[in-house]
Amino acid sequence: MGHLITVATCSLNQWALDFQGNLQRIIESIKKAKLAGSKLRVGPELEICGYGCLDHFLEDDTILHSWECLSEIIEHPDCQNILLDVGMPVKHKSVRYNCRIIIYNKKILLIRPKLSLANDGNYYEMRYFTPWKGVRVVEDHYLPRSITKIMGQKTAPIGDALISTLDSALGCETCEELFTPQAPHIAMGLDGCEIYTNSSGSHHELRKLHTRVELIVSATLKSGGIYLYANQQGCDGDRLYYDGCALIVVNGKVLAQGSQFSLNDVEVITATIDLEEVRSYREHKSRAMQTRDQPKYERIEVEMSLSSEVDEIDLLLHPSPARAVVYNTPEEEIAYGPACYLFDYLRRSKQAGFFLPLSGGIDSCATAVIVHSMTRLILRAIQLQENPQVLIDLHRICGESEGSTWEPKSPQEIANRIFCTAYMGMEKNSSPETRKRAADLAAIIGANHLDFDIDPVFDAQVKLLTSTTGFEPKFKMYGGTKVSNLALQNIQARLRMVNAYTLAQLLPQINGRREGAPGSLLVLGSANVDEQIRGYYTKYDCSSADINPIGGISKTDLKSFIHWASQKDNFGIGLLQQFLDAPPTAELEPLTEDYVQGMTYNELSVYGRMRKIDKLGVYGMWEKLLHVWGDKLSPQQIYEKVRFFSWNYAINRHKMTTVTPAYHMEAYGVDDNRFDMRPFLYPSFEWAYRKIERSIKQMGAAAWIRDRDVDKQPQTSEPNALLLSAILDTQQDEAETTIPVAPREVAPRPASVAARIDRRSKQNYTKECFKLNFGLSGD
C-alpha cells in the first residue's frame, strides 16, 4: 500500500437557509475534489444550512431540511468513493448540537458535535447550541426515518471519536476549538491521529488572518500532522463577510492556500502529502513519553484507504511543496472584502444597483472607491471565466433580456449600468471644491452622477416651521442659538436622506431600465466606525441607508486605503489625493475657517479599542491613558479628554440603535445588533469622574513638573507628572509640541520650575507616590 495521499478542503459561498443553493455548492465542491484525485473532502461549518441562520437554528425546520439535503448528498452518484466531512445542526435527545457528519459510501460513520462554542464578539453559538458532553464521550444517535429508509442504518455514533482508515487516522476540530487553550488536536495527535479537519465559519476582520494562520501552523508544528482548514466565503445574509482562505498545512508548513476574497461560489484546494513525513516528524522521545499515559479515543473503522491500494510507485504523483503564506495588506483588505460583500448583497437582494450620496469628502469617496473595486472584480471574473454565474448575475442586475450576449469591457461600463451618485448641496453652505471633487470622481469610476441643490426644500421646511411656531431659526453666525444652529443642520442632513431614497427608487426607471425588469437601487451609507463611536452624525441623515460598507472601518485606515487606491500600481486614481488634502467638513452651516469636533480620529481609535477590546470603563481608560499619553499630557488633561469622550458617547449612544447595518471589519466596532450591546439611555459617569478627581488630588499638591510643556492654568495641581516621568523614563525636549487638548490649550511651563528638581528627588517622590496610590514599593 502506498503512503502518498491527496486531500481536499474548500471555501463555499453559502447563504443562510438557501438549502437548494447550498446543496448545489457542496456537491460541486465534492466533484472538484474527486476530479483532483482526492479521497477526502472537508467543508465549512454548518455548510448545509449556512452558518448565519441565527435564531432560525432554533426552528426544527432548519434541522429537518438539513437532513433532507444530507440524504441527497448521501445518494448522489458523484458523492461516492470519497470520505466526506459535512456540517449541519443535529438534535440529539432534544438538545441541539453544531455537528460534523462523516460519511463514506452511503454510511454515516460519525456525528461529531462541537466541544467548545464560539460566544464572543459576533458569535452567539450558545444561544442556539449546547457544547458536547465531554472529550472522548460517544453515544448512539437514532437517525431520522428518512435517512434509515435510504441507507438501512438506524443509528450512528455521536461524540468525540476518531476515524480509522486502512492507512491513517482522522479527527475533527471545529472552528473555535482551535482557539482554545486545550485544543483537541493535541490529545488526538498523541493518540495517533494524523489528519485534523477544521470546519469553520470565521468572518473577516482587519488584520485577523495572521492570527488564524499562526494557530493552524502551530497546531502541527509541535507534534506534526496534516491540518485541513475549510471556511465559508462571502455574505450569507448578515453583516459579516466570511473570508475563506482554506488551508492545508503539514508539520507546520503551508502546502496550499485558498483566496481570502473572491467572487467564486466554490473554491477547492488540494495537496498531495507523504504520510511518512508526518510519522518521521513525530519521532521525538518527549512526544513518545507523553503518549504513554494518553487516554484513548474510540476508533470508528472504515474499510477504505486514502492512499493508493497498490504498491507500485506512481511517478505522476508528487508531494506538494511548501509555499509562503499570502497576506493582504490592510488597504487591500478594505479594497476587496467590502467589494465582494457588496456584490453578494446586490445579487442576492435582486436589486438593480447602488445609489450613493457623494459629498466630496473622504468617507463617501471611500465608499465610491469600494464600489469601483467591486466593478473591477466583476470584470476580472468575467474575463477569466472563473465563475459563469457572475455574468449571469450581472445580466439580471442590469435588466438585460434573456439570451443577452452583452459583456462589459471596462469597470466604468459596469458602473454606468449599476451605480448612481448625487451631490446634494446647499448654495450657501457647500463649497465649489467639494462639488467638483464629487463630479470628477464619479466621472473617473463611471457612475451616473447628479448635481443639485436642496435649498428650495430646505427653505420650504424652515418657512413651514416659522409659520407654524412663529419662531425663525437662524445659523449661529447670523445670531442664532446653538439649538437653532443644530436644528438647521439636521434639516439639511435629513432632507438628503429623503432625496436619496426617492432617487434610488426612481432612477432605474428614469434611466430607461427595461420594462418588467424588477429592482430599485440600494442606498449606501458612509459613516466610519470612529464617527459612530463619537456620535458625530445626524440620526436619519445620509448615515441611514440599506448597507454601509465602511461602517466598521476607522478613519485612519480609510485614509490609508484612499492613498493606496491613488497609486498607479493599484487603482491609479490620482484624483484621490485631493480628497486626502482637503479639510474635513460636513458643510451643514455657512463655511468658516475652523471646523473641529473636539477630538482627533487617532484619539477616537484609541478610545474605541480601550472601550471594546480592552474592556475598560471610564476610570480604567483614564488610568491606562496615564501611561500612554502621560509624556505629553497631565492627568488632569487626560481626564478632561476621557470625560469629553464619555459624555459624547453617552448622549449619542441612542443613534446606534437605528444605524445602518455595516460590514463588520474592526475589532472595536459599535454595531448595536449583537456585536456591541449596551444601554442607549445612560446616566452620567459621576462615580467614575469623582474617583478620577480623588486620584488626581491624592497624587499630591506639587506642580506638574516635567522637562517639557505643561498646563499653566490654575485649575488643579498635578504633581503626578513626577510619578509618570519616572515610570515611563522619558526625556522630552523643551521644544516638543503637545497634542491639542480639548477644551483648553496647553501653555509652556517656565524653565525655572524644572531647574529646582533634580533626578534624585524625582526618584524619591516616585516611590512615595507608588506607596500612597498602589501599595507598592516603586523600586
Tell me the per-residue pLDDT of 111-124, one tens digit each, with 9 for 90 and over: 999 999 999 989 99
Return the minimum-mean-pLDDT range out of 57-61, 469-473, 735-739. 735-739
Is residue 246 predicted with pLDDT exceeding 50?
yes
* CA dist., res. 100 & res. 91, Å (int): 13
Do β-strands 108-113 and 4-12 pair in parallel, antiparallel, or remain unpaired? unpaired
Catalytic residues: 45, 114, 175, 359
Is residue 501 predicted with pLDDT exceeding 50?
yes
**What letter does residue 4 receive in the DSSP assignment?**
E
* CA dist., res. 634 & res. 746, Å (int): 10
- Cβ atoms of 235 and 344 within 8 Å: the answer is yes
How confident is the model over 348-377, as a mean pLDDT? 97
* CA dist., res. 13 & res. 265, Å (int): 5
- The pTM of this model reads 0.85
* CA dist., res. 30 & res. 7, Å (int): 11
Supply the pLDDT for residue 761. 43
Return the minimum-mean-pLDDT range out of 336-350, 503-517, 720-734. 720-734
Query: How many residues belong to the chain?
Result: 779
Q: Where are the beta strands (DSSP E) in 275-348?
A: 299-301
- Cβ atoms of 543 and 530 within 8 Å: the answer is no
Helices and strands, number each (H, E), in the chain: 25, 20
Exposure string over 759-772, b if 16+ CB within 10 A, otherwise e = eeeeeebbeebbee
- Cβ atoms of 167 and 275 within 8 Å: the answer is yes
CA neighbor of 382 nearest in space, from 391, 369, 395: 391
What percentage of the chain exceeds 90 in pLDDT?
70
* CA dist., res. 445 & res. 416, Å (int): 9
Parts of the chain belonging to CATH 3.40.50.620: 331-453+495-585
Grid cell digits, residue 492: 439639511
Q: Coil, helix or strand for 388?
A: helix
* CA dist., res. 711 & res. 514, Å (int): 67
Count of CB atoms within 10 A of residue 201's CB?
26
* CA dist., res. 740 & res. 734, Å (int): 17
For residue 268, give the H/E element and its range: strand 266-274
How confident is the model over 258-282, as a mean pLDDT? 97
DSSP assignment of 584-598 equals P----S---S----S
Grid cell digits, residue 62: 432548519
Tell me the per-residue pLDDT of 612-641, one tens digit each, with 9 for 90 and over: 899 999 999 999 999 999 989 999 999 999
Question: In the predicted model, what is the mean pLDDT of the chain?
Answer: 87
For residue 354, give the H/E element and its range: strand 353-357
CATH number attached to the domain at 331-453+495-585: 3.40.50.620
- Residues paired with residue 84 on neighbouring β-strands, in sequence order: 41, 103
Is residue 542 predicted with pLDDT exceeding 80?
no
Grid cell digits, residue 116: 467548545
* CA dist., res. 92 & res. 231, Å (int): 25
* CA dist., res. 377 & res. 380, Å (int): 5
Supply the pLDDT for residue 586. 58
Burial of 227 per CB tally in 10 Å (0-12, 13-18, 19+)? buried
Tell me the per-residue pLDDT of 184-237, one tens digit each, with 9 for 90 and over: 999 999 999 999 999 999 999 999 999 999 999 999 998 899 999 999 999 999
Is residue 741 predicted with pLDDT exceeding 50?
no
User: Where do we find the cell 503518549?
Assistant: 291
DSSP assignment of 167-206 equals S-EEEEE-THHHHSTT-HHHHHHHTT--EEEEEE-PBP-T
* CA dist., res. 335 & res. 328, Å (int): 10
Burial of 751 per CB tally in 10 Å (0-12, 13-18, 19+)? exposed
* CA dist., res. 322 & res. 341, Å (int): 31
- Residues paired with residue 203 on neighbouring β-strands, in sequence order: 242
CA neighbor of 79 nearest in space, from 30, 127, 115: 30
CA neighbor of 448 nearest in space, from 402, 380, 512: 512
Grid cell digits, residue 155: 443509528
Residues 6 or more apart whose CB falls under 8 angstroms from that of 754 comprise 705, 706, 707
Q: In what order do the strands lie in the sheet with 419-425?
A: 448-453, 419-425, 353-357, 521-523
* CA dist., res. 133 & res. 428, Å (int): 68
Is residue 580 predicted with pLDDT exceeding 90?
yes
- Cβ atoms of 370 and 332 within 8 Å: the answer is no
What are the φ/ψ torsions at residue 671 (nearest 5 degrees)? Answer: -60, 120
* CA dist., res. 473 & res. 480, Å (int): 7
Return the minimum-mean-pLDDT range out of 144-153, 462-471, 602-611, 765-774. 765-774
Is residue 239 predicted with pLDDT exceeding 80?
yes
Parts of the chain belonging to CATH 3.60.110.10: 4-327
Confidence band, pLDDT 50/70/90 cuts, at residue 701: very low
Confidence band, pLDDT 50/70/90 cuts, at residue 424: very high
Does the domain made of 4-327 have the CATH classification 3.40.50.300?
Answer: no
